[in-house]
Chains A and B, each alone.
Chain A
Amino acid sequence: MQDALLQATGLRKNFGERPAVAEVSLTVRPGELLGLLGPNGAGKSTTVAMLCGLLPPDGGQVRLGGLDMQANLGAAKRRIGLVPQELALFEALSARRNVELFGALYGLNRTQQRTRAAAVLAQVGLLERADEAAHAFSGGMKRRLHIACALVHDPELIVLDEPTAGVDPHSRNAIFEQLEALKRAGKALLYTSHYMEEVERLADRILILDHGRVVAEGRLAELLQRLEGGQGLDIELAQAEADIPPLQALPGVLGLHRDGPRLRLRLADWQAGIAVLQALAAQGLRPARWASSRATLEDLFLALTGRQLRD
């Protein structure tokens, strides 16, 4: 296994008396994508800001390529490409000028700016429209340009903060393919998202943050094994506002989440599922539909934090 390109140890950050990040440690290796999951306020953005050199940690250390980031901030920043959550583009400028500008900020000379801009615009499929102003682009195209700006200086570590927010499925797939290509090219990627399915598809390892702390870390399969039960049952009731019996009290029911008429249960075995359906029927509640499911990251997150990721 390759050495970690990015290694954070015991990161801490307080805002006033409030701890935003507490003892967060993580590593990202070349050719690997680490998925950083957590609800709003979990400390993801603060962690990303410390990892990118935007915010000095109150405690702990970030090392990039073996060098202490705070002691070598300029050099460390040259090795990172940041894709912030909001679009960071000068919309009145052309796509090419945007990419060249960021190239200049990372010290590329005029020739390098031109060459690299053409290369990354081709990589994200925008070379043919390189001379159009960014404001003329669709949301998905802007997102791809946003990523191109982070790649222009050929960084070793790429940090993507919710890169698919507001993107149509076609552009989302295009972005996923680009990220997979970057992984194959040996780049290290740190990816934060609310979308479990994205992280499930892309991430080699997953780190779950809650209240500024790491609550789980590992490969998806390893994490799911931590769940006591591997069975899931999704039920949609015909009556949206109905009171339901205390299903959690039934033997073999390990977890329950309700969202209106939809119930998501985690079960020890199928006997528990039958007991749930019988209990609902005894109260006159009829499932409009129901289906079994395998355990997911959502179940894991629910089990670890007691709330849904998008709460």
Chain B
Amino acid sequence: MHALIALTLKDLRLFLGDRRALLLTLLAPILIAAFFGSLFGGSGGAKKAGVGLAITDLDRSPVSQALVAALRADPNLKLQELDAEPAQALVRAGKLDAAVQLPAGFGQQAGRALFGAGPRPLIQLHHDPSKAMGLALVEGLLAQHAMRNLSQAAFQADSALMADLRAQVQRGQGLAAAEQHELLALFDQVARVQRVSSPAPAASNRAGALTGMRQPFDTQRVAAQAPQQAGYNAYAHSFAGMGVQFILMLGVDMGVALLLLRQQDLWKRLRAAPVSRAVLLGSRLLSCALIAFGVFVVLLTVAIALFGVRVQGSWLGLTLVLLGFALFTAAFGLLVAALGRTPEAARGLAIVATLMLVMLGGAWVPAFLFPDWLQQLTLLVPTRWAVDGLDAMTWRGLGLAEAATHAGLLGATALLLGGLAWWRFDWAEPA
């Protein structure tokens, strides 16, 4: 027991004694987690940038101008009115997400097309292929505002568009007599309603006024998270992910350090003492796990103190997940040392293994962005259990039972990897 404690304390003293390395060990994950956290939404209070959109109005009709005004007023867009060529150039340069071109005759053609009385005008939408999410938003907002403005133009009193439509229907081109009759009756009915309500322009938005077709429902966004506390904080995920990544690298470093030690007479000297393999490898496992746990605690303390991360789940659960991951890290480091045989080989093996574990564990980007099949597959990856477990205890606000599952899986995997490392580790120093 004296030997185990002495060897473990020795590793802790060596780790804490190297101030420069310690600072870098803590600073690097904090900086990168802060960067990723701000990228994915920060602590929720920051204003969103909006999608950059250019519009070229070749129609200049009241309908197209009303559409441009509506898009300009939309808080989800940053709209610029530009000629077609410079607009497209800015999209190609990646400075705008998309450029919309409203063709000449857009207002008239779209009005007719609304009632199936003519071809639909073609709106050109140039987009940056690297910004697919922005494109979907632009298409949705364009449809919403166009429908509203067109229907408003169609149904307002003394509408020129309605007069044009009535004239077309009266000509009866391509319409059955019954269909022609019913459409004209509809127009008459609309005209009567318009005359009765004849809303003042300022009141056009009041309930009941004929303001054109609107989305027939509203949505209320409610974040699915702990109901009683702070909102989602992207830093919670980024600190979990970067913590997992850098601590895993710390484990690898310790495994490689063990191999370097084995090449020195210091290893021979340790083996000459009456200490078992269990004590020599166990002390390394223990010190690595303690260091990993301590570093993660510091990282989360910084996340809580400076980045508004909150533990909305169980503190005990959080501790269990951290302990499970610390043990996994230590066992992973030992296994790398056992399989790599030499420091050079171990380092190469470790880089590949760590990158795979980190990527598939959702440490860089949340796992929900993965394709379905990959999301299912990565349920088998230990780093995913760690990241999900930490998410569960921070912003998701889940309970101890959820943490126990993640921590248990991590602990069991640590046991398995540790056993493998024990079995495969080349005990003697190289000849």
Contacts and interface: CB of A to CB of B under 8 A. Distances in A.
Contacts of A108: 2
B268 A90 contact: no
B431 interface: yes
B428 interface: yes
Interface string B260-273: 00001110111111
Contacts of B218: none
B18 interface: yes
B3 A93 contact: no
Contact of A105 (B6, B13, B14, B17): B6
B274 interface: yes
Contact of A82 (B7, B264, B272, B275): B272
A129 interface: no
B10 interface: yes
Contacts of B351: none
B5 interface: yes
B268 A93 contact: no
Contacts of B18: 92
A93 B272 contact: no
A101 interface: yes
Contacts of A102: 269, 273
Contact of A93 (B2, B14, B269, B275): B14
Contact of A92 (B5, B14, B265): B14
B214 to A, nearest CB: 72
A55 B268 CA distance: 10
Given A93-B10, A100-B6, A55 B428 contact: yes
Contacts of B269: 82, 84, 88, 102, 149
A84 B268 contact: yes
Contact of A90 (B2, B14, B272, B428): B14
B3 A107 contact: yes
A86 B5 CA distance: 25
Contacts of A107: 2-3, 274
Interface stretch (A72-80, A260-268, A277-285): A72-80
A104 interface: yes
A157 to B, nearest CB: 12
B1 to A, nearest CB: 9
A149 B6 CA distance: 14
A74 B275 CA distance: 8
Contacts of A248: none
B265 A54 contact: no
Kindly name the residue among B10, B264, B274, B275 whose own CB sees the greatest number of chain A CB atoms within 10 A: B274
Counting contact residues on chain A (CB < 8 A from B), the size range is: 20 to 34
Nearest to B270: A105
Contacts of A89: 266
B212 to A, nearest CB: 76
A52 interface: yes
Interface string B288-320: 000000000000000000000000000000000
Given A100-B6, A104-B5, A108-B2, A84 B273 contact: no
A97 interface: yes
Contacts of A87: 265
A97 B13 contact: yes
A14 to B, nearest CB: 12
A174 B271 CA distance: 28
A101 to B, nearest CB: 5
A93 B7 CA distance: 12
A305 interface: no
A305 B104 CA distance: 105
B388 to A, nearest CB: 38
Interface in A117-133: none
Contacts of B7: 101, 104-105
A75 B2 CA distance: 16
A109 interface: yes
A104 B272 contact: no
Contacts of A75: 274
Contacts of A52: 272
A274 B190 CA distance: 141
A106 interface: yes
Nearest to B3: A105
B431 to A, nearest CB: 6
Contacts of A82: 268-269, 272
A73 B7 CA distance: 21
Interface in A48-88: 49, 52-55, 73-75, 77-78, 80, 82, 84-88
Given A53-B272, A77-B273, A93-B10, A15 B2 contact: no
A106 B7 CA distance: 12
Given A93-B10, A104-B2, A109-B2, A88 B274 contact: no
Contacts of A84: 265, 268-269, 272
B431 A15 contact: yes
Interface in B1-58: 2-3, 5-7, 10, 13-14, 17-18
Given A88-B266, A89-B266, A78 B3 contact: no
B274 A92 contact: no
B3 A104 contact: yes
A53 to B, nearest CB: 7
B280 to A, nearest CB: 9
Contact of A74 (B6, B10, B274): B274
A93 B6 CA distance: 13
Given A88-B266, A88-B268, 10 more contacts: A77-B274, A84-B268, A88-B264, A88-B270, A93-B10, A101-B10, A106-B273, A109-B2, A110-B2, A149-B269
Interface of B: 2-3, 5-7, 10, 13-14, 17-18, 264-266, 268-275, 428, 431
15 contacts: A15-B431, A54-B272, A82-B268, A84-B272, A85-B265, A86-B265, A88-B266, A88-B268, A93-B13, A97-B13, A101-B6, A104-B7, A105-B274, A107-B274, A108-B2
Nearest 7 CB-CB pairs, A to B? A104-B6, A84-B265, A88-B269, A86-B265, A105-B273, A77-B274, A82-B272
